[in-house]
Structure 1
Amino acid sequence: MARFIKSNEPSAGKAPGSLVFIGNQKLDQSIIKISAFDAHELNEYTIEDVDECTRYLTPDSVTWVSVYGLHDTDNIKRLGELFSIHPLVLEDILNTGQRPKFEEYDEYIFLVLKILRFDTESMLVQGDQLSIVLGDNYLISFHEQPVDIFQPVRERIRKHRGRIRQGKSDYLAYALLDTVVDNYIICIEKIGCNVEELEEAVLEDPSPDILSQITNYKREVNYLRKTIRPARELIISLAHCDNEILRESTTPYLKDLKDLISHAVEATDNYREMLSDQLGIYNTAIGNRLNEIMKILTIFAAIFIPLTFIAGIYGTNFENVPELKYKYSYYFFWGIMATVAILMIRFFKKKGWM
């Protein structure tokens, strides 16, 4: 399945809000985990029945529901009923090719963006969709598969580090988004190191292998750019959102996050331009190498043209060629050939062509 766009064929012709999973199934069975916490207490559960989610909702605590595996549409539908989530939102959650977006509703805020990681073996950027439904005292995160990047956030909750346990659901949403954006920076840094190393290789040895690497990195940077630029729009919208769910104390953190993702976008654009420059340098180097080869061939051809002319005259079959019966004609002939060649070489050097 293409990474830049997912096929919507399964949902073609269906009514808006139809729950159809679009993407690759990455888990055999869905997993639902719950973390319910406040400043004094933390409880963590793994549940099998979606209906149990509401048991852990309390006005004075934050309930984080993590859903892993989006292929089970029945679970997603039931969660939508329990938390009054609009069918169009559920449709976006199930479409793993959904563009990053931000939407406000009466009871919640909906966010969708990509979690990125750089696979050093395949040298590809891998993406998993993250959807967040943010309510006043709860946060539901929908994942294609279990991800490790949020483990530090869970450790902060468990060890009561930072202000996450004192904050509300909006600060938890900020912590998750901050982790996602930090991971964008890590991906860009890993690709950027390889791109910068290519610059010297392009000048020293512009081989077909270098061209292949430039093309591959250009594709991956374009994928990063396609993902990160709309994510910046999402975070800007969130930072300027006037909604009671987003408390005033969280606004400075969201504005700082806006600066961080702007830095990620600028870095992506810089590496994209650098790769374009490297491609131009590669083409120029190949062109210069071809010009050098053509120059040498042209010089040789220019030297041999008059020699061929002379040899052609004395290679004719006319009987009366005066020089043919001269005793030293052979040596005289070679002397003329050598003299013409030497004079032409000296002329080419004087002109700077050799």
Structure 2
Amino acid sequence: MHKSKKNKNFSPPFKQVGQPLIFDENVTRPTVQYTPTKTETFIYNSEKLDSFVQVDEFTYSAQPQVIHWINIFGVDNLNLIARLKDILNIDPLTLEDIVHLNQRPKIDEFSDYIYIIVKMLYLDSAVNEIKTEQISILWGKNFVISLQQREGDVFDPIRKQLRIPQSTLRNRSADFLVYSLLDTIIDYYFVILENLSDKIEDLDEKITLNPDQKTISTILNIKKQLIYFRKSITPLRETFRYFQQTDSPLINKETLKFFMSIHDHVFIAIDNLETLKDLLSGMYDNYLTSISNKMNEIMKVLTTIATIFIPLTFIAGIYGMNFNHMPELKWKFGYPLSLFSMAVISGIMILFFK
């Protein structure tokens, strides 16, 4: 078992007290039903590239000057995950973190590999919500293994670069592949931020023109997504500080500046997120103000109408009393004079309220 060389600023892997490790040698792993695990393998250097797909299996054989990228879709095949320990001598605690999802983003450094957890975010157009997926990255001298919860990711630009012999990715070491994976994940955060920004802009225009009951539902939905987004990426601010402190031999000096740029991008993403959050809060206040003004206009109209009818009702009430001695009731001009008086009073009050 490896002895980890973890930085004091990073928390140890999660494990419930008293719960045996699934990947301990003396523990029988439970048999579970799972969807067949797909593995995608790229074996490359500056001169050649081999790529293939396997099911419930992966291939690795250490070769000098050759990098292996193994992308595994699905982490519920425990026997397949256990092979990482057998082939690459991965610490059982690391394997525990891989299969126990909903971990916080973190970086753990061991004697001959680095383990990274990040959150990959994407937009689910079917329900119009942000979805998250835990990505685990095992990074050694000549291998990078990325493990995802399900098939589908944002790594297509990396796959395209690997198929170009002259690309920077093909001519760099494994640390540049790790940088590319992290950078692609972080870049997609900005795609989501842009999408949310467009929604907020459209919503602002709708609030200005014609706010309705659906508007508040939309505001609350976007606010919920922003909170979910913030919860997913904020821990990266501290996690990626690791690159400012590490002296790991797995990271070349010329690649370190690229990792530092990812750290800067995380800060920019969080700043943009806070800006959108402030805009949405202001928009919510504008919505309440708009609804309040709209209600005041309605109340003003109703009050005006009620005020106009008060003297008219008074006149009608006076002459609606059934007393015998009311001379106006028997006067032939009494009825038209009453209507004329009501019309004059109404006109005067309408002019007054204008």
Q: What TM-score do the two structures reach when normalised by structure 2?
A: 0.85
124-133 or 333-342: which moved more? 333-342
User: 1 CA distance for matches of 2:98 and 2:146?
Assistant: 10
Segment drifting more, 339-348 vs 281-290: 339-348
Residue 176 (str. 1) matches residue 181 (str. 2)? yes
Deviations 1:9-62 (A, max 9, x none): xx988616446x9xxx9x720122332323333333445675843xx2134332
Matched-pair contact (CA < 8 Å) for 1:118–1:124: yes
1:109-149 per-position Cα deviation (integer Å, ceiling 9, x unaligned): 21111222223343222322211011222211101223352
Q: Which residue of 2 aligns with 1:36?
A: 43
Q: Is 1:128 paired with 2:164? A: no
The answer to whether the 8 A contact 1:17-1:87 is kept is: yes
Q: 1:229 to 1:16 in 2, by over 3 A?
A: farther
- 1:310 and 2:315 correspond: yes
The aligned residue for residue 8 of structure 1 is none
Pick from 244, 248, 251 the counterpart of residue 249 of structure 2.
244
Alignment CA distance shift 1:236-1:161 (3 Å): farther
Q: What is the rounded CA distance, in whole Å, between the counterparts of 2:16 and 2:106 in structure 1? A: 21
Deviation at 1:302, TM superposition (A): 1.0
Q: Confirm whether residue 336 of structure 1 aligns to residue 341 of structure 2.
A: yes
How far 1:252 moved relative to its partner? 0.8
The equivalent residue for 1:294 is: 299
Q: Which runs of 4+ in 1 moved over 6 A?
A: 11-14
- Taking the TM superposition and a 5 Å limit, the aligned residue runs for 1:13-28 are 15=19, 17-18=21-22, 28=35
* SS, match of residue 32 in structure 1: strand
Q: Pick from 55, 60, 73: which aligns with 2:65?
A: 60
Distance change (3 Å), C-alpha of 1:231 and 1:84: same
CA contact (8 A) 1:65 1:140 kept: yes
Aligned residue identity for 1:165: R
Query: Given the alignment, which residue of 112, 137, 151 partners 2:156?
Result: 151
CA distance in 1, matches of 2:216, 2:50: 54
Report the aligned-residue RMSD.
Answer: 2.6
Unaligned 5+ segments in structure 2 are: 1-14, 24-28
Q: Deviations over 1:64-121 (max 9, x none)?
A: 2222111111211221343232333222211332222222222222111122222334
Give, in whole Å, the separation in 1 of the partners of 2:107 and 2:182. Answer: 13
Equivalence for 1:4: none
Name the SS for the 1:165 alignment partner.
helix
Match of 1:281 among 265, 278, 286: 286
Partner of 1:82: 87
What does residue range 137-148 of structure 1 map to in structure 2 within 5 Å? 137-148=142-153
Q: Quick one: structure 1 residues 50 and 330, their matched pair in 2 at CA, closer, same or farther if it must change by over 3 Å?
A: closer
In structure 2, do the counterparts of structure 1 residues 284 and 48 end up closer, same or farther at CA, with 3 Å as the change threshold?
closer
Identity of aligned residues (%): 33
In the aligned structure 2, how far is the partner of 1:331 from the partner of 1:223? 71
**Secondary structure, counterpart of 1:103 in structure 2:** strand
Match of 2:271 in 1: 266
Please point out which of 222, 230, 234 is paired with 1:225.
Answer: 230
The number of equivalent residue pairs is 333
Equivalent residue of 1:39, what SS? coil
Q: Residue 224 of structure 1 aligns to which amino acid in structure 2?
A: F
In 1, the alpha carbon distance for the partners of 2:16 and 2:107 equals: 24
CA distance in 2, matches of 1:323, 1:314: 8
- Secondary structure (helix, strand or coil) at the match of 1:342 reads helix
**TM-score, normalized by length of structure 1?**
0.85
SS at match of 2:154: coil
Distance in 2, matches of 1:276 and 1:45, equals: 49
